[in-house]
Structure 1
């Protein structure tokens, strides 16, 4: 029952020092004085702030306040331009956004064959089913599905199957349920999913009604991906900071990609090592975009696990490919292409 409303930062001789925490504890205002030896780590911003929940028969409420994490960052940014520009991330989010997700818990096994047909996996086999998100490209919502290894939760019953859904376009009506995903109850989102995986329309309503589907509105889930420029996110340890650091995906660190646990871990390591003067390296980010093997492996999977010869090429492209393959015979490049199953 504690909210950090503000962190007072003093500025003197180019040094920045957090001197006070302004809090609300059980509804009462409090403050904590800080010394230069007290370390303050701020997770600025949040993609799960102001989350709301619906149920089978009600959509998740869309009205919300900005929330404490964004308010705190705004108050810090008011004190120093080096503390970033939070409004870039949580204000003016486009309407065609990712804001709604849902969990559907099925006990009706009629859905199993259709999931198996789409994923190639038996969801009750005990293995990972979708190996990550799968996008339904024909969906107006650009509906995505993700089915992890079942049971997903320790309390989950053996006859329960949990499917996670999300829509990337919140401004379009669905193909089966002709409403925007933001206006849909859990049951309606479930119906849209069942329609897209090929469940016969005469069975959709009864299966969706028997499932427990919980829609979730996360108004800032798109915030990581908003356009930004240098200075919009604060450095992990701002210039001159004596005891204040920012951690998480809204802190600026080099080369890493947001929306990962690794990003949060690296910024936390960076913050601790700098403020405590720890002489230790932070694990490097794997430069996959410059690794030929990774690029070729991606080409293989992006083309539905086909070799170069199996691609739908025109006559000129086939001639060019044949000449290329002849040219690389006996070389290391041919060896790599074989390893990555492209030839």
Structure 2
């Protein structure tokens, strides 16, 4: 496997890998990483779909990328995905997946046209005082010291950040700024999360820093992520005869690691309630999604809280990884991530409006008609003074294909599930859907006398607790996640958010796609380049633009510098006078 950039590699169709007709593949789980790996096996590996087996314990594919209407409960979306136009592996695949909405178009075509005609942006990023605009006004509000802390992190070697927390590298100069408000609510970072992941995120998305305050940096699908991305991918795989084995729980995978080669030799399963196993040869490829960010998640309903199920359950993704990791040190350390659910949980809630009484409050804040079919909030709106640090969003409506035209489906989430609310004096984790809706309506500016009645009769709200949703942000070091292809592996790979690959960042659908592509291309020796991570972190133009945006337009000479720094800056500006460097600095409004 090798990396490439440019369309010479990306447009090439690879030759059929040698011996692929004798190989089979088993994919553990049916999340996006597994589905993508199956698609790469079929499209680029040219493997017969009948020899590709997806083993899924539930009755539906998609993993964390969900979007369902549950009987007697309502619409549920556990999370949402902000999509980057520079997700190279994602778009490499989805330009081949036919759209289910637009005849003759791919998923990429549909997505591209949609976001060209209806570009994303937010008109209100944050509120205070029950729905008043917080007037963050696109400003990061970073002091010179705060910007220096961010720059220092950017240049710190990964090794120096192993097992460190964000609070160890940032002071209140950063943590009390608008920058941190935008960042932690957009990406779900907590102060105690990994400083290394923080650094990797800054480097990965440096080209989008200027679009963070108003979400012009991101794009969204037409419908929920399940119907817009997962379902077309499943239909593509089914059309190529890929075998889906629902109701099949993988209990363990047995490896032979006694020689210089490592091989998966058996998959232990429970199928239809009965114990069984699949014997493997080196021609049987195994793709393992280890761990799971939505493992142990639970939903409540309008009148019942979602239980906080933090104990690792037998037969789940964490339990499986523990069994695998016990067989070889190179298979990672799952307990580094799933050891403390208090530091990795947050909650979401799906709210469906049932009549015309709540939508005007949404429209007042987002400044758009939510029934227009176009961008509504353009991303999350954060209640800046919320004890829960509550955020909410309504994407383009309808959000579900079968959603009634007079209803809106939106999403609420909060980072602090153990704090009492401002209106509902209870921790979010103890609240029913109705109570979560009441807290949201309070921050929307609904008169207090009307809040309970509207929450009960004008909305249906479904809470969801996810104990391990940010487990991958826990402080870590090299080796805690297994390599996509561990050294010596002949027939297995690790996929998804808890596998290790270079330069890309977790908690993105691109990371799932990248690990899938790398694993398939390596195990089948496919002669086609895996697209490099977008190189903005090495592009001086993107770096200068980010510096300008983060300083809120301040010139270098306007920054708070000590006399020695000012003297050095003066000498530098003299030396670059009349050069292309001066032109670049002027172009990006730094001087």
TM-score (norm 2): 0.52
Q: Give the corresponding residue for 1:50.
A: 296
**1:106-134, CA deviations, whole angstroms, 9 ceiling, x for partnerless residues?**
12323223222322322112112222233
Going from structure 1 to structure 2, the CA distance change for 1:293 and 1:132 (only over 3 Å counts) comes to: farther
Aligned residue among 226, 251, 256 for 1:5 = 251
**1:140-199, CA deviations, whole angstroms, 9 ceiling, x for partnerless residues?**
111111211110000111111111011101121111111110000001111111111211
Is contact 1:325-1:334 (8 Å) kept?
A: no
C-alpha distance in structure 2 between counterparts of 1:200 and 1:301, whole Å: 38
SS of 2:306's equivalent in the other structure is coil
Aligned residue among 171, 180, 183 for 2:418 = 171
Q: Give the corresponding residue for 1:268.
A: 516
Going from structure 1 to structure 2, the CA distance change for 1:17 and 1:101 (only over 3 Å counts) comes to: same
Going from structure 1 to structure 2, the CA distance change for 1:293 and 1:164 (only over 3 Å counts) comes to: farther
Greater Cα offset, 69-78 or 285-294: 285-294
Does 2:503 align with 1:251? no
C-alpha distance in structure 1 between counterparts of 2:393 and 2:353, whole Å: 14
Report deviation, 1:332: 3.1
Is contact 2:253-2:264 (8 Å) kept?
A: yes
Report deviation, 1:44: 0.4
C-alpha distance in structure 1 between counterparts of 2:424 and 2:545, whole Å: 38
Residue correspondence of structure 1 range 175-194 to structure 2 within 5 A: 175-194=422-441
**1:65-84, CA deviations, whole angstroms, 9 ceiling, x for partnerless residues?**
52411111100000001000
Report deviation, 1:99: 2.3
Report deviation, 1:203: 1.9
Aligned residue among 116, 119, 133 for 2:363 = 116
Is contact 2:310-2:341 (8 Å) kept?
A: no
Going from structure 1 to structure 2, the CA distance change for 1:296 and 1:183 (only over 3 Å counts) comes to: farther
Is contact 1:108-1:207 (8 Å) kept?
A: no
Report deviation, 1:325: 11
Q: Give the corresponding residue for 1:61.
A: 307
Aligned residue among 329, 336, 346 for 1:99 = 346
Greater Cα offset, 103-112 or 258-267: 103-112
**1:223-261, CA deviations, whole angstroms, 9 ceiling, x for partnerless residues?**
121111100000000000010100101000001111111
Is contact 1:93-1:226 (8 Å) kept?
A: no
List alignment gaps of at least 5 residues for structure 2: 1-246
C-alpha distance in structure 1 between counterparts of 2:379 and 2:477, whole Å: 30
Q: Give the corresponding residue for 2:39.
A: none
Report deviation, 1:297: 5.5
**1:278-306, CA deviations, whole angstroms, 9 ceiling, x for partnerless residues?**
22221121244454554566577778xx7
Greater Cα offset, 150-159 or 105-114: 105-114
Going from structure 1 to structure 2, the CA distance change for 1:291 and 1:133 (only over 3 Å counts) comes to: farther
Going from structure 1 to structure 2, the CA distance change for 1:299 and 1:336 (only over 3 Å counts) comes to: closer
Q: Give the corresponding residue for 2:444.
A: 197
Residue correspondence of structure 1 range 68-147 to structure 2 within 5 A: 68-95=316-343, 97-147=344-394
Is contact 2:379-2:394 (8 Å) kept?
A: yes
Kindly report structure 1 stretches of 4+ aligned residues shifted beyond 6 Å: 299-303, 323-330
Is contact 2:545-2:588 (8 Å) kept?
A: no
Going from structure 1 to structure 2, the CA distance change for 1:176 and 1:267 (only over 3 Å counts) comes to: same
SS of 1:113's equivalent in the other structure is helix
Does 2:401 align with 1:154? yes
Is contact 2:296-2:309 (8 Å) kept?
A: no
TM-score (norm 1): 0.87
List alignment gaps of at least 5 residues for structure 1: none
Greater Cα offset, 152-161 or 64-73: 64-73
Is contact 1:98-1:167 (8 Å) kept?
A: no
Does 2:265 align with 1:19? yes
Tell me how many residue pairs correspond in the alignment.
328
C-alpha distance in structure 1 between counterparts of 2:371 and 2:548, whole Å: 28
Report deviation, 1:336: 3.2
C-alpha distance in structure 2 between counterparts of 1:335 and 1:109, whole Å: 49
Q: Give the corresponding residue for 2:454.
A: 207
SS of 1:15's equivalent in the other structure is coil
Aligned-pair RMSD on alpha carbons? 2.7
Is contact 2:350-2:461 (8 Å) kept?
A: yes
C-alpha distance in structure 1 between counterparts of 2:529 and 2:359, whole Å: 48
C-alpha distance in structure 2 between counterparts of 1:125 and 1:111, whole Å: 16
Q: Give the corresponding residue for 2:526.
A: 278
SS of 1:90's equivalent in the other structure is coil
